[in-house]
């Protein structure tokens, strides 16, 4: 549950979350945004990538893919802010045509944060050709953004990763443990893995409670919805994740009767939460 919310934009610090000023040339159409990806000003380029992702402009896919190789915008620490924002945008587009370029971008060793966002984007797009390269990263023996990697393997339903993922249930990071439990639940449907995530809803660390709510939202299980309602997290966060569970149920291959029962329960939960807001 690496959830970098880049719904807003700060030209002074592109990877932070507040809109302060708008770029010099207003980006009001897909055409100006695509053209702005090649602007002289790196902050305008960054804003253009953010805008294209936010508005899910499919015609921008090829132009965004080209910017995954960008070398012009580099921080003192050696990171590539534009590449990161482009990868986020491609994850929002969920366009299968971006997959080869994203797989290629996994080779970037200078910026681990960039690799993490690329992995997340591949998980969101959900194309099975990403399974092998992601498995290779997990087997590489070199440190990786494990949380994002294990989650993406779960989203892609890569069963072969199971023996590699199981040891991560004992990882130093509780976030990584949670990602492993989420993967194992998605692959096996065994309730013990769901329980493992539900326990974290009452963790003393609010950040872990928050992450667990997102993990359960991604799983899309009614039991998870009932656990989220009881959790010590804010109502707006509860609503967001109940809505994600509802979407998962509607997209699933459950029978119509099961879907109907599940959606009824979820709508009742949503109504109760709205009354409390």
Q: What is the dihedral of CA 211, 214, 219, 223, to 10 degrees?
A: 90
| pLDDT value at residue 6 | 39
Give the list of residues 6+ apart from residue 215 with CB closer than 8 angstroms, or none. 1, 178, 179, 181, 182, 197, 200
Q: With a cut of 80, say whether residue 5 has pLDDT above it.
A: no
Give the list of residues 6+ apart from residue 166 with CB closer than 8 angstroms, or none. 180, 184
| pLDDT value at residue 27 | 84
pLDDT in tens, 56-85: 999 999 999 999 999 999 999 999 999 999
Q: What is the percentage of the chain residues whose pLDDT exceeds 70?
A: 91
| pLDDT value at residue 142 | 94
Q: With a cut of 90, say whether residue 101 has pLDDT above it.
A: yes
Q: What angle do CA 190, 191, 192 make, to 5 degrees?
A: 95
As a whole number of angstroms, the distance between CA 221 and CA 90 comes to 27
Query: What integer best gives the mean pLDDT of the chain?
Result: 89
**If you average pLDDT over residues 214-238, what whole number do you get?**
87
**If you average pLDDT over residues 257-267, what whole number do you get?**
93
Roughly how many angstroms between the first and final C-alpha of the chain, as a whole number?
A: 25
Residue 103 or residue 27, greater confidence: 103
| pLDDT value at residue 4 | 41
**If you average pLDDT over residues 155-181, what whole number do you get?**
96
pLDDT in tens, 115-158: 999 999 999 999 999 999 999 999 999 999 999 999 999 999 99
Confidence of residue 2 (pLDDT cuts 50, 70, 90): very low
| pLDDT value at residue 15 | 52
pLDDT in tens, 32-61: 999 999 999 999 999 999 999 999 999 999
Q: What is the pTM of this model?
A: 0.83
Q: With a cut of 80, say whether residue 22 has pLDDT above it.
A: no
| pLDDT value at residue 25 | 59
């Amino acid at each position: 549950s690496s959830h970098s919310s880049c719904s807003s934009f700060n030209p002074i610090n592109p990877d932070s979350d507040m809109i302060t000023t708008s770029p010099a040339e207003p980006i009001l159409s897909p055409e100006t945004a695509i053209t702005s990806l090649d602007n002289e000003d790196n902050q305008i380029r960054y804003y253009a990538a953010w805008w294209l992702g936010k508005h899910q402009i499919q015609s921008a896919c090829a132009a965004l893919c080209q910017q995954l190789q960008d070398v012009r915008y580099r921080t003192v620490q050696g990171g590539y802010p534009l590449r990161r924002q482009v990868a986020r945008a491609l994850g929002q587009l969920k366009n299968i045509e971006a997959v080869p370029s994203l797989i290629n971008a996994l080779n970037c060793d200078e910026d681990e944060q960039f690799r993490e966002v690329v992995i997340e984007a591949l998980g969101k797009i959900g194309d099975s050709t990403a399974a092998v390269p992601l498995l290779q990263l997990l087997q590489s023996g070199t440190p990786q953004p494990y949380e994002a990697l294990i989650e993406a393997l779960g989203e892609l339903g890569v069963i072969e990763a199971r023996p590699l993922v199981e040891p991560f249930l004992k990882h130093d990071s509780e976030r990584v443990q949670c990602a492993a439990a989420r993967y194992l639940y998605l692959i096996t449907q065994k309730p013990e893995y769901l329980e493992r995530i539900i326990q974290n809803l009452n963790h003393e660390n609010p950040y872990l409670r928050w992450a667990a709510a997102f993990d359960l939202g991604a799983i899309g299980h009614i039991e998870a919805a009932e656990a989220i309602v009881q959790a010590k997290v804010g109502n707006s966060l509860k609503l967001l994740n109940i809505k994600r569970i509802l979407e998962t149920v509607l997209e699933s291959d459950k029978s119509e009767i099961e879907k109907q029962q599940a959606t009824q329960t979820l709508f009742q939960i949503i109504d109760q939460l709205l009354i409390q807001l």
